[in-house]
Amino acid sequence: MGTPAVGFIGLGNIGQPIARRIVEAGFTLTVYDLADLSRRAPSAARCVKSATEAAAVDILFLCLPSVQASASVVAEVLAAASLPKTLVEVSTIGPAAARTAAAKLTAHGVMYVDAPVSGGVARAREGKLTTMVAGSEVAIEQALPALEAYCHRIYRVGGEPGQGQAMKLVNNYASIACMISTSEAIAYGTTQGLTMKTILDVINRSSGQSFVSRTLFPSHIANGAFDSGATPGIVGKDLALFVDAARAAGSMSEIGERTHEIFRRFAASASPHDDWLRIYEFIRDGKKD
């Protein structure tokens, strides 16, 4: 069997470098985005003007910013004259939306792979994302060569659509909550005359260490860069999805509810284009209202 034709919809901060990696791996790629494709599309990709045109491939990837955007594109794809064999959902849309999309696509003979990613813009550019994959073995095996083009680690977390989304929400919630608690700890330490460098040096060699303290603070906050590439809107969306999903499952999430409340206040005070890591400044400055 020859190399499958691949389609990609959504060339944002994460989607653009993923699409480039797929092209560089030797796949024929068709791309579509609402934004200007002349600036976003990989040079070797074929640009089309609609989601229905992009659907005329073997494997179609979606990397979109919201639950609503994903649902809208799935509806457009299902209206296409030619449907993909497999659709891979890279977007973070939550378990319920993934199950709904999978049911609609499967009813039309399209296999569904639930495959959200973690790692941010930097890892996407390096082709070293982590993906949490759920779906049938047949669908995953078909998508695997393209997944390997942009992922350093591929975890098969389950056979049912929604399980990949659940794993992504678990990871992101743990990271966001850690960011808030670490920010509170460091902000308090600085009120006691400790420098951020001293605090990080000590906790990174003690029990308080985490990805937040080892990577986010030294590489993106302490130097004033605030350049993770993720906005308050994107991160807040993932946090809200976790809280809603935990509530629907009857799972305890009291800290999640409080974390979400703090994040909502931060997002309301921030510019839509700010980096989400500026939540440290929000916490440091004591913006309680």
**DSSP-based three-state secondary structure for 110:** coil
Q: What are phi and psi of 263, to 5 degrees?
A: -65, -35
Burial of 265 (C-beta count, 10 Å sphere; 0-12/13-18/19+): middle
**Identified catalytic residue from 49, 104, 168, 287:** 168
Asked if 168 is an active-site residue, the reply is yes
Residue 197 CA: distances (Å) to CA of 29, 97, 183, 200, 225: 46, 42, 13, 5, 15
The tokens for 131 are: 């993906």
Alpha carbons 112 and 161: distance in angstroms, whole number:
7
Alpha carbons 111 and 89: distance in angstroms, whole number:
11
Instruction: Classify residue 202 as left (phi > 0), alpha (psi -120 to 50) or beta.
Output: alpha
H helices present in 151-231, as ranges = 163-191, 196-203, 211
What are the catalytic residues? Answer: 168
